Amino acid sequence: MSDAATATRRTPLYERHVELGAKIVPFAGWEMPVQYEGIREEHSAVRRHVGMFDVSHMGEVEVEGHDALAFLQRVLSNDVAKIEIGGAQYSCLCQEDGGVLDDLFVYRLGADRFLIVTNAANHETDLAWLGRQSRQFDVIVRDVADRYAMLAVQGPHARAVLSSALGIELPPRFHVSHVRVGRRPALACGTGYTGEDGVELLIDPEVASPIWAELLDAGVVPCGLGARDTLRLEVCFPLHGNELTPERNPVEAGLGWCCKEATGFVGSEAIARARAEGTAETLVAFTIEDKGIPREGNPVLRDDEQVGVVTSGTFAPSLELGAGMAYVSTEQAEVGTEIEIDVRGKRRRARIASKPLYAKRS
Amino acid sequence: MAEANYPEDLRYHEEHDWARIEGDQATMGITWYAQDSLGEVVFFDPPEVGATVQKDSSYAEVESVKAVSDVIAPLSGEIVEVNDALQDNPEKVNEDPYGDGWLVKVRLSAPEEAETLLGVQEYRKMLDR
């Protein structure tokens, strides 16, 4: 095994996090800040102003070559041919049986050049899978995770603050542009994981620290993985390892929209079947009606019978109540259905709600 | 409160709980260290008045956004009052863990158990280890 699999790793911003008094936790083999001042404050900074997350633990894979498009069309669930140069697209990486190995964004940097951003916990397995799948293709799959530090700057003021603090031209939503940050080449991506507008910066690790300091000075609130989780949960973005696993296909996870079976990708037959026949279980969002906070693993009950299990649960700061996502049997998955969550022996009344749980009032 | 604080007049349990003993009753709560480790408290599910609590056993839970923490009874007895104000303002546990953030009042069934609890110096020493 490589060192990455055994030793915990630190991002180029680790010292900055410690200086700011962050609580550091192990996450997917990395020592990451879970919170600085507090999850609620950080959450609300992103909903109302602007916050930044060090997400340098996420992996990057470059795919280049004559067959780059054909290869990605084969391994990714979405229609990769639809991405123009400078575009971005969300996709699942599936096994033959439709199970989800990872969910990721792919950015088209050139006609024959793409960048994939992987989940930290899956980076090595994704690389191995992509390497095996690439054998029939004229393509190079390159691990470029060490080339980038990644900063997610998110919130309604993210674009204004970024363009004035760094003087860069920002791409529209779901696009990527080549910029210079700290006098080094960088990528600015119009993507995020919070339900707010924002930009994800892929920058040279050597300039991560001064850029972080510059953004702090500009009033951007440092945010940890805790707020990242509550923000994504309120807008019902799935998390690989919780809602998405190799044992679940995208259809039951509500990600049928990013599966284009006509492209013939790995897993497309199984997914077409799941779509046609329906799935036994469906991923739903729910809110607690009264009190209590649901947690991952809590049983979901209806009329005293278990009908599902919670995959993510938390106190949702913008909703000010307990909320979560759960897989429940498809017959019980209708919005409005009253359910109970067994929170460590206490039954909490809940109701299946429409996604997203939190929507911006405009 | 932002700075670590451990009042002199309390008895401490190694699981980061405190007791303020007054006659045959004690007020109980969690220490500054416990609330700081947990983060912002967003939910306290109080036990029922009349329930018995057993020294060294969990009698309630406090929850932050991310985590659940058992609250361990430093002493045994029967709950005579719970802090209902925490229903609407659980953050008082963070803001004032030894005052408005108290959790329960207990009529002690074995007051002599107090001798096994830590004084402030001993508790601080334990935290430093």
CA distance B65 to chain A (A): 5
Instruction: List residues bridging with B52 in a β-sheet.
Output: B78
- Partner residue facing A315 (CB), from B45, B65, B87: B65
Which residues in chain A have their CB less than 8 angstroms from residue B40's CB? 38-40
Residue in chain B closest to A24 (alpha carbons) equals: B37
Enumerate the β-bridge partners of residue A152: A53, A200
pLDDT band at B126, cuts 50/70/90?
A: very high
Instruction: Note whether A38 contacts B68, CB cutoff 8 Å.
Output: no
pLDDT of residue A154: 98
pLDDT value of position A253: 98
Q: A227: Cβ–Cβ under 8 A, 6 or more apart, which residues?
A: A35, A39, A42, A43, A46, A51, A53
Domain ranges for chain A: 3-56+148-234, 59-145, 280-353
Mean pLDDT over each residue of chain B, to the nearest integer: 96
CB contact under 8 A, B40 and A40: yes
**Residue A35: which of B39, B43, B61 has the nearest Cβ?**
B39
Given this model, what pLDDT does residue A360 score?
Answer: 79
Question: What's the confidence (pLDDT) of residue B1?
Answer: 62
In this complex, do B39 and A315 lie within 8 Å of one another by their Cβ atoms?
A: no
Residues of chain A contacting B66 with CB distance shorter than 8 Å: 34, 39, 226, 229, 314
Predicted confidence (pLDDT) per residue in A10-49, tens digit = 999 999 999 999 999 999 999 999 999 999 999 999 999 9
Gap from A78 CA to chain B (nearest CA, Å):
33
- With beta carbons under 8 A apart, name residues in chain A contacting B65: 39-40, 226, 230, 314-315, 317
Residue linked to tokens 């109080």: B46
Question: What is the widest separation between alpha-carbon atoms in chain A?
Answer: 62
**Binary contact (A39, B66; C-beta < 8 A):** yes
Cis peptide before A356, with omega less than 30 degrees from 0? yes
B96-99: which pairs have CB atoms within 8 A and are 24 or more residues apart? B96/B1, B97/B1, B97/B18, B97/B29, B97/B30, B97/B31, B97/B32, B97/B34, B97/B35, B98/B5, B98/B7, B98/B10, B98/B18, B98/B20, B98/B29, B98/B32
Superfamily of domain A280-353 in the CATH hierarchy: Aminomethyltransferase beta-barrel domains (2.40.30.110)
Sort out which chain A residues have CB atoms less than 8 A from B63's CB and list them.
293, 315
**CATH hierarchy code of domain B11-116:** 2.40.50.100
DSSP for chain B reads --S----TT-EEETTTEEEEEETTEEEEEE-HHHHHHH-SEEEEE---TT-EE-TTSEEEEEEESS-EEEEE-SS-EEEEEE-GGGGT-TTHHHH-TTTTT--EEEEES-GGGGGGSBPHHHHHHHHH-
Q: Which residue of A has its CA nearest to B88?
A: A291
Closest-approach residue (CA) in chain B for A315: B65
Instruction: List, for residues A326-357, the tens digit of each pLDDT value.
Output: 999 999 999 999 999 999 999 999 999 999 99
pLDDT above 70: percentage of residues in chain A? 98
Contact A23 B39 (CB under 8 A): yes
ipTM beyond cut 0.90: no
Per-residue pLDDT at A1:
43
Mean pLDDT score across all residues of chain A: 96
Contact between A358 and A235 under an 8 Å Cβ cutoff? The reply is: yes
Domain made up of A59-145: CATH architecture: 2-Layer Sandwich (3.30)
B53: exposed, middle or buried (Cβ count in 10 Å: 0-12, 13-18, 19+): buried
Mutation target to probe the A interface, by most A beta carbons within 10 A, among B3, B36, B40, B68 is B40
Q: How confident is the model at residue B129 (pLDDT cuts 50, 70, 90)?
A: confident
Q: What are phi and psi of A273, to 5 degrees?
A: -65, -45
Q: CATH assignment of A3-56+148-234? A: 3.30.1360.120
Task: Give me the residue spans of the domains in chain B.
Answer: 11-116
Checking A252-259 for CB contacts under 8 A at 24+ apart, the result is: A252/A279, A252/A280, A252/A281, A252/A282, A252/A283, A252/A327, A253/A100, A253/A283, A254/A282, A254/A283, A254/A355, A255/A77, A255/A92, A255/A100, A255/A103, A258/A77, A258/A78, A258/A90, A258/A91, A258/A92, A259/A77, A259/A78, A259/A92
> Two tokens at A162?
């970024």
What average pLDDT score do residues B94-99 get?
Answer: 97
Min distance B40 CA to chain A CA atoms (Å): 7
Say whether A291 and B45 touch across the interface (CB within 8 A). Answer: yes
Question: The whole model's pTM is what?
Answer: 0.94
Q: Is the Cβ pair A314, B63 closer than 8 Å?
A: no
Q: Is residue A224 pLDDT above 70, yes or no?
A: yes
